[in-house]
Structure formats: C-alpha cells, structure tokens
Amino acid sequence: MYVEASSPNFPLKGPFELEASLGGVEATSITFWYSLFGETMGTLALQTFSTTSGWVEQWSKSGDQGEDWQMATLGIDTADTFKLKFVAYTAWDYLGDIAIDDVNITLGMTPAPSLTTFPSSSPSPTAIPSLDPTVAPSHTPSPTLGPSLGLTIPPTTLLASTASQLQHALEASGNTISMGSDVILTTALSISNVTAIRIFGNAFEINGGGKVRCVNILDAEVFISNLIISNGFSFGSAGGMYINGFSQVTLLDCSFLQNEAYVLSGGAIFADGAQDPNTDMAEYDKYMTIIIRHCNFTGNLGAFGGAIRFNFQVRKQ
C-alpha cells in the first residue's frame, strides 16, 4: 500500500489510514517494511487498539529515511490488542510518497526483536490502491485563549510527544496540547484555520535541520509558550515561523535560535499581514495580531530583518 503525495495530496494532507481488525485474537508483535524516501517526506505511524487503552501510537517515523526499504519489528505490550492501524500524513510538497509492504502480525507468541535496518535488496511493493484523505477525529475542546498569558495548563489537555500526535492535535479548534519534554521534532509544523489552540512546549524543540521552515501559521488563533524553534531555513521568508492572513498569535517564553531566511527575510519570524499585497484591509473587520513576550532571539539571520520582519498591513503589539 502507498500514499501518493502528488496533488491534491499535499501540502499537509491526512490522516491516510489503513486499519485491520484481528478478529478477536490478541497480537503480540508486528513486522513490516516501509519506504520514506523523498525531500519533503511526511510522517508514518502505527497505532494499536485495545479495550483498556483505546488507540495508542506504538511507532512513528518522520522525514527522509533514505532510498532503501527499511524493516521494523516491534512487540505489542498491551495484552488485549485486537486492531492495528497505519496512519500517514504528507508534508509540504509532492516528493514524499509513503509506502508499506509485507506486513506480518504474530498472534499469541513471544514478540520478535526490536528495530532492524534492511541491508541490501528491496522487496517489491504489492497492492497499490488509492487512499483518499479523511478527516481527523475531533478532540475534547478546552477553554478559549482569552486575554490571560498565564502558564496554568487546563485539566482537559492532550499530551503529544511525536510529530503525528502533535499534527493530529492541531487539526481541531479548542485543543490544549502539552508537549513531552526532551523531544526534538524534525518535520515542519502547520497550524491553519483553527481557533483557541494552546501549546505548552515544555522546552520541546522544532528543528528545521538547516533545510526547512519550522512552523507555518495560517489564519489561526494560537497561544504558544516555552517552545524552542531552531535551525529553520527558507530561501524566501521565515526560517523559523511564517505567520499569514488574519492570525492571532501569542508567543510567551519561546526561543528562536539560528534560523535563516534570504529573499524576503525575517530569519526567525516573517509576518505577512495580507494574503495579497493588493488586498484592501479596510474592508475587513479584523487584523493580524502578534504578541511576543519574554522570548529569546539568538543567531537568526536575514537580509531584511534578521530576527523579525512585518510585511504589508500588520497591526503590531
């Protein structure tokens, strides 16, 4: 099976899901081959369902993993696992087809060893059906942003420590997300057309690896605290964070480190207040608002605004 990343399946489309029921028999391990080869590769994850825990992510990979097929083998810890599901998300361009092959599930036996890298030859992919994007399930809504900039985390909070968990949580308005600490995310993050999103970073790092922009915020209302955005890169604008349209963004105690941009610049942040430079903002009863407090900008580079550039008609606070 594979996910074709060509149009209309980019940018940032998904989840593409392939689910299997085990017919009431418990799974103890699973082995499969995967191909994540491409300059703009998204994310592939494996989830299991049990009656005690619901859907739980057991494994995920993001970004280009090289030309060779890879083999993954993992044990299933939950004793009452009766369903398995592969979940895929595309990234920013069409160079990111995601494929799986030769899936083998062990039932009622000792789990096989952990992750193995395929040494030389490649298996031939089998069936190639079409997978259409589906709508990500909604999450329990949390309180709206409001004017407060406090760091109190509401009781209804989604926990995320992987790229797929985070991107999934950002697809529904009203979500509050608490990131796992000591985790580095190496794929671009998108927040678009949602409201009342709160992200508590806990020093979680989004690292562009000197190749991609770290964060895109498009017509969204989002509060972000204690997030590290580093090593983002763009030939155009915003190596670290691109803010577009009528977004309402609050950044508190965040760090922007070693981000670069060139042509339009704004190494750390580029705020594009109008989607079209000819747009008459007076006809709209809303504006872009950006609040930046207690943030650290270090080592960011750009010909026009090494750290921050505000473009077109933007209301700055």
3-state SS, 86-151, equals: EEEECCCCCCCCEEEEEEEEEECCCCCCCCECCCCCCCCCCCCCCCCCCCCCCCCCCCCCCCCCCC
Give the SS3 label for residue 8: coil
Buried b / exposed e along 1-14 (16+ C-beta atoms within 10 A) = bbbbbeeebbbbbb
The pLDDT-based confidence of 250 (bands split at 50, 70, 90) is very high
Q: Which structure tokens are listed for 133?
A: 């994007």
The pLDDT-based confidence of 79 (bands split at 50, 70, 90) is low
Question: What pLDDT is recorded for position 121?
Answer: 44
Residue 290 near residue 249 (C-beta atoms within 8 A): yes
Q: CA–CA separation, 275 vs 294, rounded Å? A: 28
The pLDDT-based confidence of 58 (bands split at 50, 70, 90) is confident
Mean pLDDT estimate for the chain: 77
Residues 6+ apart with CB under 8 A from 72: 31, 32, 33, 34, 46, 59, 115, 116
Residue 198 near residue 145 (C-beta atoms within 8 A): yes
Q: CA–CA separation, 317 vs 314, rounded Å? A: 10
> In the Cβ-directed half-sphere of 178, how many Cα atoms lie within 13 Å?
10
Question: What pLDDT is recorded for position 39?
Answer: 84
Question: What pLDDT is recorded for position 83?
Answer: 84
Give per-residue pLDDT as tens, 285-297.
457 889 999 999 9
Count of Cβ atoms closer than 10 Å to residue 67 Cβ: 9
Question: What pLDDT is recorded for position 298?
Answer: 94
pLDDT of residue 74 exceeding 70: yes
Lowest-confidence segment of 4-13, 22-31, 126-135, 153-162 by average pLDDT: 126-135
Question: What pLDDT is recorded for position 261?
Answer: 92
The pLDDT-based confidence of 35 (bands split at 50, 70, 90) is very high
Question: What pLDDT is recorded for position 212?
Answer: 86
Q: Which structure tokens are listed for 103?
A: 């899936």
Question: What pLDDT is recorded for position 317?
Answer: 41
Question: What pLDDT is recorded for position 222?
Answer: 92
Give per-residue pLDDT as tens, 163-177.
777 878 888 888 888
Residues in the chain: 317
What letter represents residue 152's amino acid? Answer: T
Buried b / exposed e along 280-289 (16+ C-beta atoms within 10 A) = eeeeeeeebb
The pLDDT-based confidence of 306 (bands split at 50, 70, 90) is confident
Give per-residue pLDDT as tens, 170-196.
888 888 888 876 567 776 788 888 888
Mean pLDDT of the 290-311 span: 90
Task: Say if strands 43-50 and 54-62 run parallel, antiparallel, or are unpaired.
Answer: antiparallel
Give the DSSP per-residue string, 35-96: EE-STT--EEEEEEEETTTEEEEEEEEES---SS-EEEEEE---TTEEEEEEEEE--SSS--
pLDDT of residue 46 exceeding 50: yes
Q: What share of the chain is helix, strand, coil (3-state, %, to 5)?
A: 5, 45, 55
Residues 6+ apart with CB under 8 A from 162: 43, 45, 57, 60, 62, 183
